[in-house]
Amino acid sequence: MLVLTRKKDEVIKIGDDIEITVIGINGDQVKLGIQAPKHIEIHRKEIYLSIQEENNAASHSSLDFLTALSNQLKK
């Protein structure tokens, strides 16, 4: 893990296309601005994990449905 110290209005570059700017600091909270191409999804980690869980649940439901359908067609 790379650990950096930045002050308000300072920027971190990731590759050529992504910039993270420290917009503000208020107590123990830091406000970040992220500039990235539209095709790159940006989520808070808890939202990302929630999306992954929903996708996994949906894929398992689809697999269960297809298995049941396959079993019905075999009869």
**C-alpha dihedral sign at 10, 15, 16, 20:** negative
Cα separation, 44 vs 38, whole angstroms:
16
pLDDT digits (tens, 9 = 90+) for 21-40: 999 999 999 999 999 999 99
Compute the average pLDDT of residues 34-50. Answer: 96
Residue with tokens 């123990």: 28
Residue spans of alpha helices (H) in 1-75: 45-74
Tokens of 40: 């790159």
pLDDT band, residue 63 (cuts 50/70/90): low
pLDDT higher for 25 or 68?
25
The pLDDT value recorded for residue 11 is 98
Write down the pTM of the prediction: 0.68
